[in-house]
Structure 1
């Protein structure tokens, strides 16, 4: 079955619509819990920023990242410090800008690497399209978390969701609305006829023809 490939343009679109959705929230709202996540909306956005950034970092080197090779320190025990951090005093717009930066970097990297490139992810050795799809899904899933916590409305467009859903969740149904299906696939919602997923859900990072 043919499917639409996920590219850097999809990552940039995902971060752009997420930024647009988050901007109406007042600064005080960012202390609220981010939906089902066990952290504030501010920390959830920094988590998202670093996640998207990590996809660029892993795939960017001439020899893409493999597990165990020395790389950037992503956190220190006992705190939430990460490579990308935003001064809370600068307000949420600064952190939203970091999301756009990370998305632009990830988009540029995935579009510049050959289809044969592979880099490590905890859920498989992924190709550039896989990292693009991860950037889309990571962004949209956490956009859901954030907008829940911030009291905002959000629903991602079907034509953006569907290709990333097909790439990372080949087991997902194809005859259902893509957005609630993505929420189901990531353990965030119910889908008629399917058992709700628990916190141990995963996606298929490796190319679909590589098992």
Structure 2
């Protein structure tokens, strides 16, 4: 049941509309990137910006796939083949056709986001599926997709020379869903960057390792 002032602050659920918004905002920003910038390194990652978008699209696709079967897997991933195109590159099932250029790459990202949005909308809330950080529900997979989108767009913005500040309320909802132990006295976006090992917070050094908690919540 929803939490009350007597048993803790009310948590606002993460919704399919939240995920749709995150992907739309990311795609809109990335369309501003100059064509020559896509080979730049994406922030602190070891991948270039093109590879990072492929990785993000692959994350969204993989989360949708986990929820897809009539009985979602409880002990492993749906067995697609994930492979790197180069040593050190991301291991993906999803790769964009380079001949389609950045517009095609972003279309792949948009399509994979739409698949996860549709899956989260249509699966019963009681559905559970495997994730390496623990079995989760459709809302949890939506939140994971949002975190992947927000923080990888941060990496991409750094590499592409763009400015990226997602909505604070969106960041707050995914922090409450996946990082319930994160500081609550700091702004949500810097806190999400701290929670995912990308920034320091006052009194909280940058994380060397991190993980979220996908456990279904009331």
TM bin, normalised by shorter chain, reads: over 0.9
Residue 55 (structure 1) aligns with: 63
2:140 counterpart of 1:112: no
2:70 counterpart of 1:90: no
Residue 137 (structure 1) aligns with: 147
**Which of 199, 210, 217 is equivalent to 1:201?**
210
TM-score, normalised relative to structure 1: 0.93
Cα deviations by residue, 1:100-153 (Å, 9 ceiling, x for unpaired): 111111011112111211101110101111001001000000000001001111
2:133 counterpart of 1:123: yes
* Consecutive unaligned residues in structure 2, runs of 5 or more: 1-8
* Consecutive unaligned residues in structure 1, runs of 5 or more: none
Cα deviations by residue, 1:153-176 (Å, 9 ceiling, x for unpaired): 111110111101110000112221
Secondary structure, aligned partner of 2:135: strand
2:50 counterpart of 1:42: yes
Cα deviations by residue, 1:43-73 (Å, 9 ceiling, x for unpaired): 0110000001111000111101233466211
1:66-105 superposed matches below 5 A: 66-68=74-76, 71-75=79-83, 80=89, 82-105=92-115
Kindly tell me the number of residue pairs found equivalent between the two proteins.
208
Q: In the alignment, is the contact (CA less than 8 A) between 2:72 and 2:128 conserved in 1?
A: yes
2:181 counterpart of 1:165: no
Measured in 1, the distance between the counterparts of 2:79 and 2:177 equals 27
1:10-29 superposed matches below 5 A: 10-29=18-37
Measured in 1, the distance between the counterparts of 2:73 and 2:58 equals 16
**Which of 180, 186, 189 is equivalent to 2:199?**
189
* Cα distance change, pair 21–112 in 1 and its aligned pair in 2 (3 A): same
Residue 148 (structure 1) aligns with: 158
Measured in 1, the distance between the counterparts of 2:160 and 2:84 equals 28
**Moved segments of 4+, more than 6 Å:** none
2:187 counterpart of 1:177: yes
Residue 30 (structure 1) aligns with: 38
Q: In the alignment, is the contact (CA less than 8 A) between 1:12 and 1:100 conserved in 2?
A: no
> Over aligned residues, Cα RMSD in angstroms?
1.6
Measured in 2, the distance between the counterparts of 1:84 and 1:154 equals 25
Q: In the alignment, is the contact (CA less than 8 A) between 2:65 and 2:78 conserved in 1?
A: no
